[in-house]
Amino acid sequence: MEKKKKNTFKLILNTINNNIQLKIGLIFLAVLLFIAFFGPLFAPYNPYRLNDDLLMAPCKQYPLGTDSLGHDILSQILYGASTSLKIGFIAAMISAIIGVTLGGIAGFYGGWIDQLLNEVMNIFLMLPDFFLILMIIATFGSSMMNVMIVIGLTSWVGNARLMRAQAKAIKERTFIQSSFSMGESKSSILIHHVLPNGIFPIIANTTMNISGAILTEAGLSFLGLGDPNVVSWGQIITAGKAYLPKCWWICTFPGLMTIFTVLTFFLIGEGLNRVLSPKMDANK
């Protein structure tokens, strides 16, 4: 058993080493997670602390400068990392759960269930997601929990369409037909065979959805619809937009962190696509 674990671990390491995008993405992710978990310990000031050093350019005392209220930008960025990653992960997980469930049911059962769920997907595809999110947040409030739930509830269609296609293909395979012949129920086949075997493209897509959720939250905060009780990179950018271009540092550094985070999950998603879909490399 222990030998099998070692072989599995070695296989994972070889896979990562042979995929440069995945390798770089995971290194970047480790940096982000370190900042999110331990950043507040290294923050030089309380991110909510006000002082008289307003709009200070980067200097020895304030390495990334201060904003119009005297907040230290470095401290805010370190605290904001956990907010952005939390929103990204939770919103993407909500999207994945809904997408996998509805897509799997639609593709596996077919018939009127597939038609109904497919029409629901088409309706969501026609709706402008960001404006829908804006309306819901404006109606129900901009707490961090609301932001995560709303982003998750409006971004599941891509996962559902992927899972639907996977379920349609998998249910025709021999081992699924054998399960039917042995009297296994449809729900059991769906849960134990179809979903686990069709989940791989969704894993890669969900990774990319994390970056999408982070960008959406940053956009909401930029428009003043983020949670005012937490520090986020979007809110820092919002605070600095009125002082551009003179006080460039307020928007620049949180903007660069947002780009870095999006790039991280894009690299991981692309790397997972190549690992889980080897034909991508074979076609090149």
- pLDDT score for 256: 92
Torsion of CA 31, 32, 33, 38, to 10 degrees: 80
Q: Measured in whole angstroms, how far is the alpha carbon of residue 120 from the centre of its chain?
A: 23
Dist. CA 259–CA 92, nearest whole Å: 18
- pLDDT score for 199: 84
The model's pLDDT over 124-178, given as tens digits with 9 standing for 90+, comes to 888 777 777 877 777 777 778 888 888 888 888 888 988 998 888 888 888 888 8
Q: pTM for this one?
A: 0.82
242 versus 15: the higher-pLDDT residue is 242
- pLDDT score for 94: 92
- pLDDT score for 34: 92
Please measure the distance between the N-terminal and C-terminal CA atoms of the chain and give it in whole angstroms: 38
Angle subtended at Cα 76 by Cα 71 and Cα 77, rounded to the nearest 5 degrees: 140
**Separation in Å, CA 150 to CA 130, 161, 202, 233:** 10, 19, 20, 19
* Cβ–Cβ under 8 Å, residues 232 and 80: yes
Domains of the chain, start order: 80-279 (1.10.3720.10)
Please give the radius of gyration of the chain, using alpha carbons only, rounded to the nearest integer.
22
* Cβ–Cβ under 8 Å, residues 257 and 35: no
Dist. CA 239–CA 146, nearest whole Å: 22
The model's pLDDT over 50-103, given as tens digits with 9 standing for 90+, comes to 888 888 888 888 888 888 888 889 999 999 888 888 888 999 999 999 999 999
Mean pLDDT of 227-236: 82
> The tokens 């070889």 sit on which residue?
14
- pLDDT score for 97: 92
- pLDDT score for 15: 67
% of the chain with per-residue pLDDT over 70: 91
Q: Is the pLDDT of residue 283 over 50?
A: no
The model's pLDDT over 249-260, given as tens digits with 9 standing for 90+, comes to 888 999 899 889
- pLDDT score for 280: 44
Q: How confident is the model at residue 182 (pLDDT cuts 50, 70, 90)?
A: confident
